[in-house]
Amino acid sequence: MDENKLKWVYLLFLSVIWGSSYILIKKGLIGLTPIELGSLRVLFSAIFLFCIGFRSVFQLTLVQWKWVALSSFCGILAPAYLFAFAEKEIDSSIAAILNSLVPLFTILIGFVVFKIRFKGNQLVGVIIGLIGAILLIVQGARINPGQNYYYALFVVLAACLYATNANVIKSKLQDVSVMAMSVGSFVVIVIPALVILIYTGFFDSYTFQEPRVVNSLIYVAILGVVGTGITIIVFNRLIQITSPVFSTSVTYLAPVVGILWGVLDGEKFGLVHLGATGVILLGVYVVNSNRTKKKEIPRPGHLD
């Protein structure tokens, strides 16, 4: 298959898998605690990646390991726990929508921390997206009074960390092998995740014959291997054969899949939700659009 067709296959695959991750987290939490789910997600992903590419980590230099460690914490370890805690209180569809804030935070963090310039239309897009996120959280809290929507802030924090990770990779790991970076990330975090899991008493307290525990483990195994392990490789390959702008188009499609799964699972989703979702996606679209040729806005005090 030629690359022009293959890029659409990759985009559709990522949209379906990432959009389905939120319902897998929700189902995994039926028999597991958020800390257990986050740790197991990392462990399943690590086992898979170690099996297919462990030798690649020897390509990494000492300096690169430092940035890989930061990338693994921001892009994998912390979000694995944050999403699990968030979905104990908020619907999976809401988590899917809020995660579409990632490209907006990427612009902000890139500007403030990494001194990366941005365009005027991108600033407008960030503001639009944040307004949509506020509307979504407020409306969700109104129609779901039994849920603690302060937990939505865990998703917002995870989106910030994902954005930080994107900037770290772009600024510090641009020339590193995709496989080496992916596997190296789990080399860094697999031991902490295992220690945390052991500390919770997971191996002592569970009867693994219980159907709810077995089912949850299956959901998390799928989440770890497919939703994290495989998609890391596919997404980086998509970037290689297309462009960052095209690759981030998955941001438009994944929330749609997440919403569909949530509705099928009985979650409430009204017109105001839909409107707020549209505002967020409009912000993402404006950020990624190239319709204007306006001068880029430099970081104050930064000279080329």
Sequence spans of domains, the chain: 3-288
Which of 279 and 1 is assigned the larger pLDDT? 279
Which residues lie closer than 8 Å to 152 by C-beta, 6 or more apart? Answer: 86, 90, 94, 95, 98, 137, 140
Confidence of residue 161 (pLDDT cuts 50, 70, 90): very high
Q: Which pLDDT score is estimated for 80?
A: 95
- Average per-residue pLDDT for the chain: 82
Q: How many CB atoms lie within 10 A of CB 290?
A: 8
51 token code pair: 């099996």
Q: How many CB atoms lie within 10 A of CB 241?
A: 13
Give the residue among 139, 61, 136 at the shortest CA–CA distance from 99: 136
Residue 187 to residues 46, 86, 191, 288, Cα–Cα distance (Å):
8, 26, 8, 33
Q: Which pLDDT score is estimated for 251?
A: 66
Which residues lie closer than 8 Å to 246 by C-beta, 6 or more apart? Answer: 7, 11, 238
Confidence of residue 1 (pLDDT cuts 50, 70, 90): low
Q: Where are the alpha helices (DSSP H) in the chain?
A: 3-28, 34-53, 62-72, 78-86, 92-98, 102-112, 120-143, 152-172, 178-199, 202-205, 211-222, 231-241, 244-247, 250-264, 271-288
Q: Which pLDDT score is estimated for 302?
A: 37
Q: Which residue(s) pair with 297 in the sheet?
A: 118
Confidence of residue 292 (pLDDT cuts 50, 70, 90): very low
Rounded Cα distance, 180 and 173, in Å? 11
Residue 302 to residues 55, 111, 114, 278, Cα–Cα distance (Å):
40, 10, 11, 35
Whether the pTM exceeds 0.95: the reply is no
Q: Which pLDDT score is estimated for 223?
A: 94
Average of per-residue pLDDT across 287-302:
48
pLDDT, one tens digit per residue, over 7-28 is 888 888 988 998 899 999 999 9
pLDDT, one tens digit per residue, over 100-153 is 777 778 777 877 776 666 677 767 877 887 787 777 777 767 777 777 878 889
Which of 276 and 152 is assigned the larger pLDDT? 152
Average of per-residue pLDDT across 229-243:
76
